Amino acid sequence: MEIPRRLTFFSPEGNPRLERVLAETDFEVIRATREEDVPRGIVILDMSSPDLAKRFLHGTWRFPQELRARGDVVLAALSSESFADTRIADRLADIHSFFLDSDPPGSVRTTILASIRRRDLGEELKQSEARYRLLAENVGDVIWTWDLKKRAYDFISPSIERLRGLTVEEALAEDMRDSMTPDSYRRAMDKLRAGLESLGRGVRPGPITDYYDQPCKDGSVKTVEITTSVIYDESGAPAHVLGVSRDATERIRAREALESSLRKSELLFRELEHRVKNTLAMIASLLSLASDHVRHPEDAVLFEESQSRIQALALVYDKLLKSSDVAHIDLGTYLEDLCRSVASAFARDGGGVELQVNREEVKVNSKKAALIGLAVNELVTNALKYARRPGSVLALRLSVHASDGTLEVRFSDDGPGLPEGFQVDRAEGLGFLLVRSLVSQLEGSFEAETGSPGAAFRILLPRGE
């Protein structure tokens, strides 16, 4: 705050002694004898004479009020005799402060500085109140305070009329019990008690937002989102609850409609998945029945392979139906179940199968899972057809890992291995053609590993959807 260096001493009849006192306060003193000659700033009114005080303060003189209205700092210089008439004190409210003409310069200077600060604080307070009133009276939300001791509302912004149809006076006269439905009132009181208990333990509660039902003047009920916080007095004790209320009726209705629509969509989706799964199972059963009438063993193998491919797809839908996430599947779990299912379907005389799995939890969408599952199905089927040896256990190994945006699926067996000079990109068998086509759709790569006992293959895919 910059302190003014000049003050005006308004004394129509003159008062040299007071002028000397004011000059010793380190202010530059300008004397004025006419009202129209008083500049803006700090003004000292000479009321040291009881007659002057009576004439100035008991008459119709409005000059002190006019000075204050234009923003000046206004003080009165009084004598002890001036206070003989008690009515003088009533008019001192029109000025910022006063001092006695017998006060020393240091005391007078302190009074002047305090008055300047009081004027500035008053202006700041008026501006703050104006801003707050502008906000409270024009904002769409309802701002209110509730006195914890009186248990009554002591401020409600005018927007209450838009929210509930009540005037401010009607809303202030309303008990909180009547401003909510019974269930909402109980919940509000429960939260208030919990907050006060938290304060009793030395923990100040933060703002709380919840939804409450409030009756309107026209008899309707609105769902209102209310955010509350505690206001504390100078001693730190809870004094008021500050609340901001906002109409959430349409938002709640829209959310409920959306949730209902989502539930219906999920039910329809699961019904569709269920029907697709049943259809695939029926196709697999038809193939199984047809395979009983096949005359050549080679044709029977083709039927079994087709059944295996269909079961790989059916397993995807089975996983979706059992998952809480209808859009994604844990790839590692799905591929492990698929390998065990295929191995069980191809179990014949000639040795058992041992499956070793090393997998991470990797979520993929159902389309990607189906394509990867069909590719792995071909590799497992191929191993069961060509890598098994009578009287020995065939070891199959499956691993699923994800890192640096890449998804890796590795499958191997401990069979006799791949033929000399085998190149996976030139293999003409139907199974390898399918694997290459499926991996290509996923924009990945498919390769056979060399130097490993048995046959080993690796599928590398981009991690993204």
Q: What spatial distance separates the first Cα and last Cα of the chain, rounded to whole Å?
A: 62
Distance between CA atoms of 11 and 14, rounded to whole angstroms? 5
Is the per-residue pLDDT at 303 higher than 70? no
Of 338, 420, 428, 449, nearest to 384 by C-alpha is 338
Distance between CA atoms of 370 and 362, rounded to whole angstroms? 14
Contact 387, 419 (CB under 8 A): no
Residue with tokens 């009202």: 35
Is the per-residue pLDDT at 88 higher than 50? yes
Pairing mode of beta strands 73-78, 142-147: unpaired
Q: Where are the alpha helices (DSSP H) in 176-248?
A: 182-200
Query: Environment class of residue 246 by beta-carbon count within 10 Å: exposed (0-12), middle (13-18) or buried (19+)?
Result: middle
Domain boundaries, given as residue ranges, for the chain: 6-137, 139-247, 253-462
Token pair for 393: 């256990």
Q: Which superfamily does 139-247 belong to?
A: PAS domain (3.30.450.20)
Pairing mode of beta strands 142-147, 238-247: antiparallel
For the ranges 164-168, 393-397, 414-418, 426-430, the lowest mean pLDDT is seen at 426-430
Query: Which tops the pLDDT comparison, 229 or 367?
Result: 229
Give the pLDDT confidence score for residue 111 in this predicted structure.
86
Q: Domain 253-462 has what CATH class? A: alpha beta
The predicted model scores a pTM of 0.42
Give the pLDDT confidence score for residue 65 in this predicted structure.
82
List pLDDT tens digits, range 47-57: 887 777 777 66
Provide the CATH number for the domain formed by 6-137 in this structure: 3.40.50.2300
Distance between CA atoms of 164 and 245, rounded to whole angstroms? 11
Distance between CA atoms of 428 and 55, rounded to whole angstroms? 120
**How many C-beta atoms surround the C-beta of residue 250 within 10 A?**
10
Contact 383, 396 (CB under 8 A): yes
List pLDDT tens digits, range 106-116: 888 888 888 88
List pLDDT tens digits, range 55-78: 766 666 778 888 888 888 888 888
